[in-house]
Structure 1
């Protein structure tokens, strides 16, 4: 196996779930017990008390103005560089609509988030998938594509705790990607919804920061509050050159006039209030425990598997030995029959991935992790026979 040696993990009671009850490693969302529901309720009340007109009116396409201002301050950019959207997927969609025309070249990681692939394919993009290594996208492959004449409108990169693999882009690769972006004049789309969910290791600077922040000309940055506050809040944002942001603002206006002011006002009160720091620590501590248990369970029940334990985020990518005829679609079906949900590796690739799958550990209760992997191991064995 690759990755660090298993750390000591807390004693956890075994699962008491009957086999008919599904243990889901499928969806990257936190379980309700690690979301600060009371804090969100208080933030919503505070938002209505503090700004009833802002909460009940349409607002504008740029998003809730105090939240937009706060985001700009966090990134050290003027407000004109920021657009707040209904989740980061909405931000992605606006950017894709603006830049991806049929036949336009786009570089992305292999594997990458399935919705990214779908969005780019739907718009007719000419996709160039580049190998994802344990320290991020293979920059030498990107450079070779560029020197061979590929001229992408952007390169899509998930730099921290990548979905689906959980890998993090190294500092050296961040710097080299920026050099290539300037040399060949393309955008880096830094898609970064997991950046604040780090539970080990040291944080790395964003490529937006490395490119000069407010002076950046070659980075568009996207983030979300779905992973740090809660998925149901559906608030994300873009940071980028103001001319591009303004064109996307026009798209947003024509799409929905304004995003959800109640959600954005609630997020603003929550992230600027007294409970946010503790709530984020709760999420990180819970996920650190769960990934430790998952690491241990995989080593026990699937010793033939290869994976790297992530330093943050929600996901872990598992590969089974190549050349042994694994069929991940059959594995997923056998797992479902045993009450376990996984996402096949083929969902995150244009081709290949039959011997791989993604495990999301965020929503699985600690006591269910070992049982879920035990069932998954049985499913893999059944699929082979």
Structure 2
């Protein structure tokens, strides 16, 4: 559909991607370092970008590996730490690709509910006290995908205490750190404990097409993952990484982040206003950054029926059930990042109409015999039918 409005993809719209800046950065990469840009390079990534990342997070460069997107960093980490039946704490809800990666490695997933201020520490403590101690806890601390919430400072502190007490690794998966558009930022857990494993990406601050992410971990673990990377692809994409480096060092990255923050702030507020107007019975937390808003529509809405109805109305959404092991059938993740502010209200109006559509029983499409059976059964429920 040419007029499609998509709340489905966590990506910036083209109007807030700095195309000219990326062109200049790619040209600068070729001009300043043609040998490394055009060669295989090293499995740990483009050296200047690796050093830039280490400086950003105030860690030793030996603790950094730059990958083809953060999902590949996740994959290497899961291969290193997750074996069949490894206990892994995941947020409920959480990113669907995380669930897929962990299930593919046959980890024993332990879902812990997410509250308005992040992971429920009380529930995690109860799970641990009950004898299920995780080896790994996957946490998206800032503007969580899909819930949009941020882990509070007090919860970060307690989570770090629990990891030290029980010897599990915190995996701080943090691609949205710099996409805060209101409020004060919080220190990363990595900055508070060198045993935290940290991942991030330039997909949200530059553009998804560059496919550049990174992992920060203790040196021994990075050495193991570097061997995996070498055996997988020899080296990641040097041109993309060199382009990101030039984009960052020129100041274009900071300008890009500022532009994205402004645009997404407007879009998040517009989406919240539209939801209040057209879906007044829905509940949600307005995020302070990131790309996503999680909305609960009520028990009378089945998103398995809603999603195709919405598609017919020209609006794409992602079912909440995609982000949990069980449940989520009354919730949606709405990505506001790719929808211009002046299109959001129309998209929510279409969604509201689709909800009405999804609640109707379409007897017209049934065979006549099935229509009659439905009528008879419905009458029987009221004590009026004489036929079976």
2:232 to 242, 246, 255: 255
TM-score (norm 1): 0.92
Q: 1:60 to 1:20 in 2, by over 3 A?
A: closer
Give the distance between the partners of 2:359 and 2:291, measured in 1 at CA. Answer: 28
Cα deviation 1:105-127 (Å, max 9, x = unaligned): 10010000000001101110000
Residue 244 of structure 2 corresponds to: 267
- Is residue 136 of structure 1 aligned with residue 96 of structure 2? no
Residue 142 of structure 2 corresponds to: 160
Residue 112 of structure 1 corresponds to: 94
Structure 2 matches for 1:182-221, cutoff 5 A?
182-211=164-193, 216-217=194-195, 219-221=196-198
Give the distance between the partners of 1:356 and 1:36, measured in 2 at CA. Answer: 33
Residue 35 of structure 1 corresponds to: 17
Q: CA RMSD in A?
A: 0.9
- Is residue 55 of structure 1 aligned with residue 24 of structure 2? no
Cα deviation 1:33-84 (Å, max 9, x = unaligned): 1000000000000011000011011001000000001111111111111000
Residue 10 of structure 1 corresponds to: none
Query: Which has the greater radius of gyration?
Result: 2
Residue 291 of structure 2 corresponds to: 314
- 2:27 partner SS: helix
Offset at residue 275 of structure 1 (A)? 2.2
1:229 to 193, 206, 231: 206
- Is residue 72 of structure 1 aligned with residue 54 of structure 2? yes
- Specify every segment of 5 or more residues in structure 1 that has no aligned partner in the other structure, as ranges: 1-18
**Count of aligned pairs between the two proteins:** 360
Runs of 4+ in 1 over 6 A off after TM superposition: none
Q: Which structure exhibits the higher relative contact order, with contacts defined as CA atoms closer than 8 Å and separated by 6 or more residues?
A: 1
Offset at residue 20 of structure 1 (A)? 5.7
Give the distance between the partners of 1:29 and 1:296, measured in 2 at CA. Answer: 21
TM-score (norm 2): 0.92
- Is residue 355 of structure 1 aligned with residue 337 of structure 2? no
- Is residue 382 of structure 1 aligned with residue 382 of structure 2? no
